[in-house]
Chain A
Amino acid sequence: MKSTKPKKLDGAKLAILANRFGGICSKMGNTLLRTGRSGVLNRAKDFSCCIVTRDCELLHAEESLPIHVLSGPDLMARSMHEFHPVLKRGDVFLHNSPYHGDSHPADHTLLMPVIDKAGVHHFTLLAKAHQADIGNSIPTTYHGTARDVYEEGALIFPAVKVVENYQINEDIVRMCRMRIRVPDQWYGDFLAMLGAAFIGEREVLALGGEIGWATLHGFTDQWFDYSERRMVAAIKAMPAGKGVGKSTHDAIPGTPPDGITITSKVKVDAKKALISVDLRDNPDQLNCGLNVSEACTRTSAMIGVFNSVDPSVPKNAGAFRRIELQLKDGGVVGVPRHPISCSAATTNLADRVQNATQLALAAIADPLGMGEIGCFCPPSTSVVSGVDPRNGQPYVNQLFLGHTAGAAVAYQDAWMTMLHAGNGGMCFIDSVELDEVYTPIIVKTRRLIPNSEGAGRFRGAPGIEVELGPVDCRMEVGFVADGNINRPRGARGAGDAARSDQFRRKKNGKLERLAQCSQVWIEDGEMLISIACGGGGYGDPTTRDPNRVGRDVGEGIVGVARARDVYAVAVSKNGTLDTKKTRDLRRKKSKEKMI
């Protein structure tokens, strides 16, 4: 083997190699999307592909779901090395243990070490995909009320070798087939992930052959240093200070009656170019499925930070050197301990960690932070199951039929389709037609809800209403909603988004409110109604550009009365502004504020 000292790469070479690694991740992702069997993969794209270095440091994950990757791939790769000190070419490991670095058990992850012909390990590839089912005790991948992992029921794989010398270990496949609902679907998704890993390995091996491994490792060091320098410059340009943010998840069985309040204390130290997030002042772990794994706690705080940092700073181990996190051992967020359940660790409370962090940043100064991003997971994103009367086959899958949730920042309205905070808007929304083919349902309505946005100088997304029901059968649905009592709040004087809600429309047409955390049957002829939140605004709504308000009115997002009362803008129904009246309204509002 040639062993040359890595030479210093110029800016252009660095950029090209970074793009090459990015291209490998995209290719892996494309494989997963195109070959996945469950809707959660092939319709919603709820998966991520990334690369870590031989030292288990995150190298590239740019177009992944943020909650999947900022932290976790590093921890999982470390556990792989710990449990398997000798790695061989063609090995692949299945990992879904939240106690060893995975996000939550529903995110099955395949880790494939890239090993050259000489047997030297160079990089590790990860394909992480949310499964339609993981063998939980009830047909959902978010078991909100599980008092521990045993009640949750998931099969846990702490970096288990499933492929050796490119051959699948059929023992493990048989185990999974006995314990995971709709086993053919699971196996197809497993193959899709494996295809992604194989394709990634092939590409990285080719890249190493072409560029030379020494140069590639030299590249990663320089790329991390460059990323850190970019992060230093970005933090130095931010207003310094300390802020505290709080965000509360609604109560469900197993939580205190007032819900769970998450506190995030953030310090931006421009001088040291360091941002620290202290999450120690939080409750102990609880006997429910909402506990947030270490990977997701770390990641949520980091997303909250990065959402206020110059977006062109690469997100990798280099930039992460400038973020300091303090976690609570045994906390409901922090480092929950086995056998407590982390079933819904990527969404509900993790989103509250991110939102609290964003509110803490907003408390420091405009333009930092953002409003609260809307809550997960409403019934429009439930896990549904039953028997399809068209073919007599059982089915289980998560729907992604309607989401908005986007929150405003100091300089722009919300990106509407965020899904939830940790997702960053990366998932797709299901095509109604595709869902109706693959699941025995009909989607009667999917529409934005007027006057439900978090008002502000820049506004949050409006909420969305979805009505769906089973066709010629009954259907079991599971969801863990949030945001009915504790609505997504606005930042720096902005308004909150409207509340979430959920109903059953009975055969007689009457509406029955369902519990926020439900596992219920919807009978043939009944409909499920999902009201999902939008997101919080940013800044005083009466300082919003009246033209933007006019456009929202013309487009039916905001009504004439709300424009007048909340935004102090006089506008007709078709969106035509009355400039003089608006000026008067705003003058009056600012006088009121002075008093």
Chain B
Amino acid sequence: MRFACDTGGTFTDLIVEDGSGKLSMYKAPTTPEDPVAGVLDALGLAAIDFKMDRADFLAHGTMLIHGTTHAINAIVTGNTAKTAFLTTAGHPDILVLREAGRIEPFNFHVPYPEPYIPRSLTFEIPERVGSNGKIVEKFDEAAVLRVIAKLKRAKIEAVAVCLLWSIVNPVNERKIGRLLKKHLPGVPFTLSHQLNPALREYRRASSAAIDASLKPLMARYLGGLTERLGAAGFAGRTLVLTSQGGMVDARDLAERPIHAINSGPSMAPIAGRHYSGGERKTPNAIIADTGGTTYDVSLVRRGRIPKTRETWIGRPYRGHMTGFPSIDIKSVGAGGGSIAHVDGGEILHVGPESAGAVPGPVCYRNGGDQPTLTDACLVLGYLDPNFFLGGLMKLDVAAARRAIEQQVAKPLGLNVMQAAWSVVGVATENMVQAISEITVNQGIDPADAILIGGGGAAGLNSVFIARRLGCRELVIPETGAALSAAGAMMSDLSSDYRAMFFTSSADWDEAGVNAILKDLEASCKEFATGPGEGAQTTKIEFSVEARYAGQVWEIDVPLRKSRLRGKAALVALIADFHDAHEEVFAVRDDGSVVEFVGWTASVRCRLGSGRAGRVRHSAAEDIVLGKRKVYFENHGRVDTPIHSLQSLKTGQRKKGPAIIETPFTTIVVDPGASFLLARLGSVHITA
């Protein structure tokens, strides 16, 4: 059995793939104080369903793939370690100046961003390496020891080190590493040249700073996860999802926790690609994952998942750059738990504040007293109070109604139904804006794309979002309620190896290039026979970052073969570069020298089948069919038929209004829309 478990802000989603390849889904409330408890709770629910005791059940597991928001939450809430920044003397403001740049040049309301590590915890180290790698200023070990004494006194919990030109000559960073290990034992540190051997000191410094600041808590978290899973009876392998859309062993991630920043959300587009058809000619897809707290939007563009070269935590130029590429995801504070409130100016806001898992919406009766999107949907009749999470949780309609009445309807002078509808309307608009932003950036027209709704709350208003955007079709996959976990089941074990080696078309160093490629391939093979052992398939791909002489930004050009031998191979590579440049940038400069800078080999090991199996249906899905009163704008309260997934015949189109109930999601189809159950078990809706 394989487990995929994604801890979100509100729910912890679990997908279990049994021996026959069938999937089962479970949801347990996230436990923010101790997220591992939520993982174990979800596994407990699965064990009950499989009629085993938990230890027995866990003993059947060969692999657990985990997505976690622990790292990003710590950064957003400022709960990372107290981290010091050590850098070359004379350059203390690398993290303050960043790379400058700004958006909205006429907006002076926005404060200049604080550095990731304050100046007061920045220490200058007397040393300097030149751009050619030669020592320009001697390394002052005594000064480093004095700094370490200060770090001790300041009770520093982690250290980031970034020296100028450490990527050309890392000797001084290594010396600092040895001194830290010796004189500041137990305090984790990150050396920039080891983590992210890239040119541009700010990016490398920012990578190191973020990574170091996450080390103490991620080591605790991932160590605790593995240990407690083991104690509970799990003897398989624990893998964690990365921002790049792959997965790595938990203990490896603890060494480089910066890669966990978009763990989880990065999987939604992988599942989305599967459910959108996945082939090259298929339409573009927008994947919107509605959780309790955030709304994450990602894209599939002609079968490919776009990455950003520059990943920002926060908005560009106002936050911090991670220094690594990642899957492009736009995240906004909107979800089932988003709180609705009316401000002094009598304007209704929904989110970004969320009632989260604790206390949750009013209707959970866990102490929440502010109305949320979920409460509004309950009042409108979208949710069945007796069948939430497959009946695991009873919802309090009267309490939700009171909260909406007092906090939304009265101040706005509306009746309760209108007020609840307004909450849904505002939340819908916020979500539409998030989608517009990312589709505009990637040049995709929503009208030419299908919308894939994932997450437990997706079914509630996705049909309104699809109509607002003019999307041709809305698809709610059968694993939609746990889309990231489903994506995790399809993801590959992967690792990228990158080396800097400069050569050009003018003085091509064939032997040098092939030596680098050989080394990179060896690293890939070591990975394939190490962590990747037993994979069903293994694939190694090579590429080079190249540019015209004088440019400073490279484009990736895939290599046709694993080695470049003879004149013909070089000529082909140069031609490929010119073509790629013209395709991306509309011009080519055939007369210019082409420079080759960075060489990458990526290894991907397929551990599962790479496809999602179908969902196993359980008895718990015997839903009361029939009708209930549901409110729609311009229609009022309408008698609306209730369907279960099993009650639908594949391929038969029906008209709204309708509600389709599954244990983990409720799909609302308003009058004017139509829907059908498609082959892969997805519900397709035309708004």
Contact = CB atoms under 8 A, between A and B. Distances in A.
A87 interface: no
B112 A415 contact: yes
A191 B108 contact: no
Nearest to A313: B106
A556 interface: yes
B304 to A, nearest CB: 18
Interface stretch (A35-43, A222-230, A340-348, A495-503): A35-43
Given A195-B587, A471-B130, A413 B548 contact: no
Count class of interface residues, chain A: 35 or more
Interface in B461-485: 468
Contacts of A187: 589
B552 interface: yes
Interface string B120-143: 100000001011000010000000
Residue from B106, B199, B436, B441 whose CB has the most chain A CB atoms within 10 Å: B106
A188 B552 contact: no
Interface string A545-579: 00000000011110000000000000000110000
Interface string A196-225: 001100110000001000000000000000
Interface stretch (B95-103, B569-577, B607-615): B95-103
Interface stretch (B86-94, B231-239, B258-266, B275-283): B86-94
B112 A406 contact: yes
A436 B130 contact: yes
A202 B585 CA distance: 11
Interface string A517-558: 000000000000000000000000000000000000011110
A234 to B, nearest CB: 11
Interface of A is mostly: mixed
B586 A42 contact: no
Interface in A46-93: 62-63, 65-66
A575 B91 contact: no
A235 interface: no
B200 A403 contact: no
Nearest to B101: A428
Given A36-B551, A188-B592, A429 B587 contact: no
Interface in B420-475: 436, 440-441, 443, 445, 468
Contact of B553 (A34, A188, A199): A34
B449 to A, nearest CB: 14
Interface residues of B, number: 54
B99 A429 contact: yes
B119 interface: yes
A303 B136 CA distance: 45
Interface string B8-52: 000000000000000000000000000000000000000000000
B142 to A, nearest CB: 21
Contacts of A412: 108-111
Nearest to B550: A37
Contacts of B107: 311
Contacts of A427: 100-101
Interface string B172-193: 0000000000000000000000
Nearest to A199: B586
B164 A432 contact: yes
A437 B102 contact: no
B542 interface: no
Given A42-B553, A419-B100, A574-B120, A445 B548 contact: no
B465 to A, nearest CB: 12
Contacts of B436: 15-16, 19
Contacts of A307: 106, 108
B202 interface: yes
Residue from B105, B552, B555 whose CB has the most chain A CB atoms within 10 Å: B105
Contacts of B548: 35, 37, 188
A442 B130 contact: yes
A585 interface: no
Interface in A457-510: 461, 464, 467, 471
Nearest to A36: B551
A398 B436 CA distance: 37
A370 interface: yes
Contact of B91 (A419, A447, A461): A447
B546 to A, nearest CB: 12
15 contacts: A22-B440, A27-B443, A184-B550, A185-B550, A202-B586, A415-B110, A417-B101, A429-B100, A431-B99, A442-B131, A447-B91, A461-B112, A464-B93, A555-B118, A555-B120
Given A39-B552, A194-B586, 17 more contacts: A34-B553, A42-B553, A66-B105, A66-B106, A194-B587, A417-B100, A424-B105, A425-B100, A431-B99, A432-B91, A432-B164, A433-B199, A434-B552, A437-B131, A438-B552, A461-B112, A554-B118
Question: Which 6 residue pairs across A and B have the least CB separation, nearest first?
Answer: A424-B105, A37-B550, A311-B107, A195-B587, A417-B100, A425-B102
